[in-house]
Chain A
Amino acid sequence: MNEHLPALAILLPLLSAPFCILVRRRNVALALIIAVCWATFAMTAQLLYRVRVDGPVTYELGGWNAPYGIEYHIDLLSAFVMTFVSGMAAIVASYAPRSIALELDTRQVYLFCTVFLLCMAGLMGIAATGDLFNLFVFIEISSLSTYAMISLGRRRRALMATFQYLIVGTIGATFILIGIGLLYIVTGTLNMGDLAHRLQALDTNRTTLVAFGFLTVGVALKMALFPLHFWLPDAYANAPSAVTSFIASTSTKVSVYVLIRLIYTIFGTGFAYRAEALDAILLPLALLGGLVASLIACYQTDLKRLLAFSSVAQVSYMALGISLGNVAGLSGAIVHLFNHAITKGAMFLAVGAIVFRVRSSRFVDLRGIGRRMPVTSACMVIGGLSLIGVPGTAGFVSKWFLVQGAIDRDLWPAAITLLGSSLLAVVYVWKFVETAYLGRPEEETLRDEAPGPLLVPVLIVTAAILWFGFDSDWSAGIAESAARALLEQGS
């Protein structure tokens, strides 16, 4: 049992998905996803503990030896990503029954459960696998189920948003496939560890360079790195609330994980153009993305869209950490994966609770929501403080590492730009505060808090934001040792 954990954590959600279709009963399917998600979370947590104590775990599927068969290679970074993905899935699954009932036809609920489990299995698989082609397949599993989930949105705009996402996502995935093919042509292997060795032995040639380009652009499309982010706001704003909170907190983060793998594991320091690509392309784009997306967020009139643009900005911070290429920067990127997942998760869950009562997420309709739903609004404000990076919240920890990483490399302009975009975050978070607490609703409403099943998940994740803000030893410790391992591996 124990040695099969890496495969079980992915197979359990993957195999439970068809069960939801078979039973068709709404309550059974909902109970099943809650049970499966928490069980998976327990397994990944145990896996993370084992990896922390004993070092990386490898699992050979079907018993075929590593470079020939498919291998799951779970190091600290993979286990960390798997744990928070399954954790957020568990929280969202517990939140979904009440939230989805409002936004979805009762007869469709079991289908939602199916795609939710498939999406989760795909995301977990991306983090676990050590085989490049397997990675592509998992990316497509998670993307296809994400399209299906977004198209469940109530407004008809959701359909067009999904279609645009599907086109962009498929182009991104095909770019990744082209990159994998070119690498396979050059090296004759698909195993990531093996690839890294063989690429190091080769001189950098044009084919590897082109492969690097295709892979990076493909992953950048998937993670909505500025200026390839245009699909994200529409998709997030029109999906059902539970779906938005799940994909916003996990899907782009897992793509960032793929970028880290790509740059630090597969193309190690032996790849001659890596430093140039990081400094000349990724770093400026990340800084610009942080500023521009935050600026656009300030002008939004819909809370969901505002948070979606803020996600683009936050992904840019992760890209910034990756491009810095030193321990502090990379740790910042990794810890921000987690911190942003809980921050955005809490905020979108809170938005879902607000939509449950108000039936709208436009600022015009949210005036005075601070008095109507005091607890939910307080959670939104705490999430907002974490987006800004106020000390005592999780967001502060990641910003601290990122600024340190920039200063270590004497990139003062980068550090100042980062702080500048945090100031813009103050502006857009203030927009919510102003509407919620200073705005007067058109008709006076009584206190009308969200129901318990929606409120408890919001409170748990908000508590996590504060917890990991004050006690960052666990999250930042893991991020730092994962970053060190990645940087040593590459050199």
Chain B
Amino acid sequence: MNQVLGLYDYWVVVTLMMVGFYIVIANRNLVKKMIGLSIFQASVLLLYVAAGKVRGGTAPIVPPGADGEVTYSHPLPSVLMLTAIVVGVATMSVALALIVRIKEAYGTIEEDEVLARCEGVE
């Protein structure tokens, strides 16, 4: 029971990860593939943030007038994820730009149709 409830945040991470991964593999529409990839990447953001969270912890800023110990969450994973978000946005924009070009060149964004047209004469 503890495995399920105590680690519920990681279960969320794993579920999202698998949902995203499945969409990437199973869907033939290029935009939907990118949505899946986004969910997949977002699950990793949650993995890091969940790992940095300390129960009852606050932001890592010493409140004015505080003396003694203050429990705060680990800030580093969140900071790392800021970088990962930037990387994700960059990947997304490159991919969407590519999809626009694919639509221009082939007239469709369904993977099967694009690949079928690839077989034809260049």
Pick the contact of B99 from A155, A163, A174 — CB < 8 Å? Answer: A163
Q: Which residue of A lies closest to B30 (CB)?
A: A163
Stretch from B37-45, B56-64, B65-73 contacting the other chain: B37-45
Stretch from A19-27, A83-91, A178-186, A247-255 contacting the other chain: A178-186
Q: Which residue of B lies closest to A166 (CB)?
A: B95
Contact with A along B32-52 (1 / 0, CB 8 A): 010001001100100110010
Pick the contact of B101 from A144, A159, A166 — CB < 8 Å? Answer: A159
Q: Is the CB of A133 within 8 A of B83?
A: yes
Contact with B along A148-181 (1 / 0, CB 8 A): 1001000111011011001100110110011001
Chain A residues, CB < 8 A from B41? 170, 174
Q: Is the CB of B114 within 8 A of A170?
A: no
Cα-based distance from A184 to B50 in the complex (angstroms): 12
Secondary structure at the A interface, as helix, strand, loop or mixed, is helix
Q: Which residue of A lies closest to B114 (CB)?
A: A160
Q: Is A426 an interface residue (CB 8 A)?
A: no
Q: Is the CB of B47 within 8 A of A178?
A: yes
Secondary structure at the B interface, as helix, strand, loop or mixed, is helix
Pick the contact of B37 from A140, A157, A171, A178 — CB < 8 Å? Answer: A171
Q: Is B54 an interface residue (CB 8 A)?
A: no
Q: Is the CB of A171 within 8 A of B51?
A: no
Chain B residues, CB < 8 A from A140? 87, 90-91
Chain A residues, CB < 8 A from B118? 157, 160
Nearest-Cβ distance from residue A159 to partner chain B, whole angstroms:
5
Q: Which residue of A lies closest to B40 (CB)?
A: A174
Q: Is B80 an interface residue (CB 8 A)?
A: yes
Cα-based distance from A151 to B101 in the complex (angstroms): 9
Q: Is the CB of B98 within 8 A of A151?
A: yes
Assuming the contacts A156-B122, A160-B115, asked whether A170 and B37 have C-beta atoms less than 8 A apart, the reply is: yes
Q: Is A137 an interface residue (CB 8 A)?
A: yes
Pick the contact of B91 from A151, A156, A162, A170 — CB < 8 Å? Answer: A170
Q: Is the CB of A178 within 8 A of B44?
A: yes
Assuming the contacts A140-B90, A160-B115, A185-B51, asked whether A177 and B84 have C-beta atoms less than 8 A apart, the reply is: yes
Chain A residues, CB < 8 A from B84? 136, 177
Q: Is the CB of A163 within 8 A of B51?
A: no
Q: Is the CB of A166 within 8 A of B94?
A: yes
Nearest-Cβ distance from residue A391 to partner chain B, whole angstroms:
41
Q: Is A147 an interface residue (CB 8 A)?
A: yes
Nearest-Cβ distance from residue B83 to partner chain A, whole angstroms:
6
Chain A residues, CB < 8 A from B95? 163, 166, 170
Chain B residues, CB < 8 A from A173? 87
Cα-based distance from A181 to B83 in the complex (angstroms): 13
Count contacts on A: residues with CB < 8 A to the other chain. Answer: 26
Chain B residues, CB < 8 A from A155? 122
Q: Is the CB of B37 within 8 A of A147?
A: no
Cα-based distance from A83 to B58 in the complex (angstroms): 47
Nearest-Cβ distance from residue A94 to partner chain B, whole angstroms:
28
Cα-based distance from A144 to B99 in the complex (angstroms): 15
Chain B residues, CB < 8 A from A170? 37, 41, 91, 95
Cα-based distance from A184 to B47 in the complex (angstroms): 11
Q: Is B105 an interface residue (CB 8 A)?
A: yes
Question: Which residues of B (68-122) have their CB < 8 Å from a CB of A?
Answer: 77, 80, 83-84, 87, 90-91, 94-95, 98-99, 101-102, 105-106, 114-115, 118, 122
Pick the contact of B24 from A159, A171, A177 — CB < 8 Å? Answer: A171
Cα-based distance from A163 to B41 in the complex (angstroms): 17
Q: Is the CB of A181 within 8 A of B47?
A: yes
Assuming the contacts A155-B122, A156-B105, asked whether A167 and B33 have C-beta atoms less than 8 A apart, the reply is: yes
Q: Is the CB of A166 within 8 A of B77?
A: no
Chain B residues, CB < 8 A from A157? 118, 122
Assuming the contacts A159-B102, A166-B98, asked whether A184 and B51 have C-beta atoms less than 8 A apart, the reply is: yes
Q: Which residue of A lies closest to B79 (CB)?
A: A133
Q: Is the CB of B44 within 8 A of A144?
A: no
Cα-based distance from A167 to B77 in the complex (angstroms): 25
Assuming the contacts A181-B44, A181-B51, asked whether A137 and B83 have C-beta atoms less than 8 A apart, the reply is: yes
Cα-based distance from A157 to B105 in the complex (angstroms): 9
Cα-based distance from A177 to B87 in the complex (angstroms): 11
Chain A residues, CB < 8 A from B98? 147, 151, 159, 162-163, 166
Q: Is the CB of B44 within 8 A of A184?
A: no
Nearest-Cβ distance from residue A223 to partner chain B, whole angstroms:
19
Q: Is the CB of B48 within 8 A of A181?
A: yes
Cα-based distance from A415 to B120 in the complex (angstroms): 42
Cα-based distance from A151 to B118 in the complex (angstroms): 15
Chain B residues, CB < 8 A from A162? 98
Chain B residues, CB < 8 A from A160? 102, 106, 114-115, 118
Chain A residues, CB < 8 A from B30? 163
Nearest-Cβ distance from residue A7 to partner chain B, whole angstroms:
19
Chain B residues, CB < 8 A from A177? 44, 84
Chain B residues, CB < 8 A from A137? 83, 87
Nearest-Cβ distance from residue B76 to partner chain A, whole angstroms:
8
Chain A residues, CB < 8 A from B48? 181, 184
Nearest-Cβ distance from residue A67 to partner chain B, whole angstroms:
12
Cα-based distance from A38 to B68 in the complex (angstroms): 57
Cα-based distance from A174 to B24 in the complex (angstroms): 13
What are the 4 tightest A-B residue pairs by CB atom distance, in nearest-first order?
A: A156-B105, A140-B87, A185-B51, A159-B102
In addition to A174-B41, A174-B44, A185-B51, 10 A-B residue pairs with Cβ atoms within 8 Å of each other are A133-B83, A144-B90, A147-B94, A151-B98, A163-B102, A166-B98, A171-B21, A171-B24, A177-B84, A184-B51
Report 5 cross-chain contacts, Cβ distance below 8 Å, ordered by A residue. Answer: A155-B122, A159-B98, A170-B37, A177-B44, A181-B47
